[in-house]
């Protein structure tokens, strides 16, 4: 694995962090929480064991997937809405050959954050 330079501008000293020590830090310096870290935080916040937290999160994700697969949506007040959106068929271009091709219509999962969540994220 390579080392990653974080917060590096022309006039600053670069901080070098080994990707072995911090595997969830991306090239641009952003941090991405993985499932194990989420389980740990949920466990600490709820008082559940790690196994119970994992069962709860897995049940939530499975339920969310089933609801979206059925074409329905889930609204969580103060958090946001998970839904399925339909993309129309459109014309695209094969990047390798430059050939024009039709991209089929598809359904994609989407999340729309509530204004309350947006306010929290923006520090309001």
Q: Read out DSSP for 27-51?
A: TTS-B---HHHHHHHHHHHH---HH
Q: Which residue has the higher pLDDT, 75 or 6?
A: 75
Q: Is the pTM value of this prediction over 0.75?
A: no
Place of tokens 């935080």: 41
Confidence of residue 9 (pLDDT cuts 50, 70, 90): very low
3 state SS of 54: helix
**Across 1-15, 38-52, 69-83, least confident range:** 1-15
Give kind and range of the element (H or E) at residue 69: helix 50-69
> Distance (Å, rounded) from C-alpha 46 to C-alpha 24?
24
- Percent of residues, the chain, with pLDDT higher than 90: 66
What sign results for the dihedral spanned by CA atoms 28, 29, 35, 36? positive
Looking at residue 73, what is its pLDDT? 95
Q: Mean per-residue pLDDT for 41-62?
A: 94
Contact (CB, 8 A) for 83 and 112:
yes
For residue 29 the two structure tokens come to: 């310096």
Q: Mean per-residue pLDDT for 61-86?
A: 96
């Amino acid at each position: 694995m390579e080392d990653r330079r974080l917060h590096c501008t022309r006039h600053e000293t670069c901080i070098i962090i080994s990707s072995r020590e911090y595997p969830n830090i991306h090239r641009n310096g952003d941090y991405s929480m993985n499932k194990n870290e989420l389980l740990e935080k949920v466990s600490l916040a709820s008082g559940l064991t790690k196994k119970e937290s994992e069962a709860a999160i897995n049940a939530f994700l499975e339920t969310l997937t089933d609801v979206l697969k059925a074409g329905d949506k889930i609204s969580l007040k103060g958090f946001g809405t998970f839904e399925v959106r339909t993309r129309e068929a459109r014309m695209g271009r094969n990047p390798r050959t430059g050939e024009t091709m039709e991209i089929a219509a598809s359904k994609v999962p989407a999340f729309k954050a509530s204004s309350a969540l947006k306010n929290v994220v923006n520090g309001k």
